[in-house]
Chains A and B, each alone.
Chain A
């Protein structure tokens, strides 16, 4: 675990010390570059801490469920709108869903599930490819699908991707804490739901989430 924290800390420390020691030798572009690197890494470290704390709490049964009626149509639309506005205005995210799905759930956990899966679909697929979110009401269950046309997951690795800190061998230059899917899985299990994946390398992945209505 310490390894996962030391890596971003090393990036932050070496970047800041570079300013301290060689500040006068760096040009403006270089300074800009390292400032951004520091900010990005601090954000990453923050995600890492949040995710770790969440998993820790969840594994200790320290998360109290707070269920309220939620209109899933509005809920998903809001997340997608926020996401597109803050990350990539040109990204097409299509939503296909039954009308007026309202059910009792924990808003915070539901947000973690949807936001993480949407973020993954975005991170692991080319910018010009569309992301499709489907949502249906089936036999007293909500079935959510997150469909991307991205890098996919190999058959050998598909069972490991929910493990803590596991990252697919084809995710090399894509930033990730290796905890996002673990957070999703924990959240779904708190809501008594299920998650599974279908994927093909270089074609894309579909994450299925099933949540009971009662």
Chain B
């Protein structure tokens, strides 16, 4: 498909020449005589790139640029500016507004064409990358989510069916047992759905630079105490407080409280699920250069090398052998949170021996 370009210039002859040049270079060309007309056409035709003069009546090139940056449908379209005036103020302002490049009239055709082609190529690559990311996510979602949901859902449906059909034959204790299984299944489902939405939101933040910057300004003071509190709370729920062995250096971490708590909850949750009661869960935190190195170790089933490599969004493994659910999603959430705060993450593990989740986060020195 031919790339679509929108050309904006109030000088009739220049506009017409530009139209001809891009038509001869195999583009689909739209043209407008000022910013106002250009904005209108941009919304109708969604061009791949916009080439605009700066000085124009009705709406000038800078105003057009700022309107494009405020329109979510047009935001990603690269804008190249042409100017007959080497006005430093206008140049600075347009770069601030997000213009890709400013070319001075009289421009050179080859330079103009290659500048347009470079921006288009960049845009194509960005779109391809985004598309492939979406495709991976879609395929992971459609492959894994039904599995994630099916086990607890089967429990809810199975127990409730059984209860309905055998209600009169069961004693109170048996009924209570089944109701608590139904309740557990419901809770699991709720957790999966909550995590699913949570993960979608993290992906959004990761892919939106302004959101990422906003988040990275947070600090949790006394983060070691906070981490310990969350850990104790999680272990208490599963009656494993006595298994904890913790040593955390004092630290103020560059992360927001809500994400730190989610991060710890997910890791501890996995440690509990993948190890047996009465085996230790070790929590260690030390400052190493610019990072605070947090290690959470359990002595449970462990992972093979291949399994560690496969850990990614919604990819679960060993499902046949393990009843545990939500690990794919949990680890994906941990990875995303670490990425939002420019930290590092890796797993060390040996099958049937141990798993250590390593989290490196920046701290306030």
Indicate if B13 sits at the interface (CB-CB under 8 A): yes
Contact B14 A11 (CB under 8 A): yes
- B22 to chain A minimum Cβ distance, whole angstroms, is 11
User: A9-49 vs B: 1/0 string, CB under 8 Å?
Assistant: 11111110110111001100000000001000100000000
Contact call B17/A6, Cβ cutoff below 8 A: no
B110: which of A6, A15, A21 is its contact (CB, 8 Å)? A21
- CB closest chain-B residue, reference A20: B109
List residues of chain A with CB within 8 A of the CB of B106.
6, 9-10, 12-14
Pairwise interchain contact B11-A7, C-beta atoms closer than 8 A: yes
Determine whether the beta carbon of B105 is less than 8 Å from that of A7.
Answer: yes
A124 and B107 alpha carbons, distance in the complex (Å): 32
Cα of A7 to Cα of B108 in the assembled complex, Å:
14
Q: A7-B14, A10-B14 are in contact. Are A2 and B84 (CB under 8 A)?
A: yes
Q: Which A residue sits closest to B82, measured CB to CB?
A: A10
A26 → B minimal CB distance (Å): 8
Give the residues in chain A near B29, CB-CB below 8 Å. none
Q: Does A3 contact B (CB under 8 A)?
A: yes
Judged by a CB distance under 8 angstroms, whether A173 is at the interface is: yes
Q: Does B305 contact A (CB under 8 A)?
A: no
In Å, the complex CA distance between A21 and B111 comes to 12
Q: Is the CB of A18 within 8 A of B55?
A: no
Within 8 A of A (CB), among B78-131: 84-86, 104-110
CA–CA, A22 and B26, complex, Å: 12
B12 within 8 A of A: yes
CA distance A6 to B14 in the complex (A): 11
Name B20's closest neighbour in chain A (CB-CB).
Answer: A18
In the complex, what's the smallest C-beta–C-beta distance from A2 to chain B, in angstroms? Answer: 7
Given contact pairs A17-B108, A18-B109, A37 touches B24 in the complex (Cβ within 8 A): no
Once the chains bind, are A15 and B84 in contact (CB under 8 Å)? Answer: no
- B-chain residues with CB within 8 Å of residue A26 when the two chains form the complex: 24
Chain A nearest Cβ from B348, distance in angstroms: 60
Q: What would be 17 A-B contacts, judged by CB atoms less than 8 Å apart?
A: A2-B84, A2-B86, A3-B85, A6-B106, A7-B11, A7-B84, A9-B105, A10-B11, A10-B84, A10-B107, A11-B11, A14-B21, A14-B109, A17-B110, A18-B24, A21-B109, A26-B24
Q: Which 5 residue pairs spanning A and B have beta carbons closest together? A: A6-B84, A10-B106, A13-B106, A17-B109, A10-B105
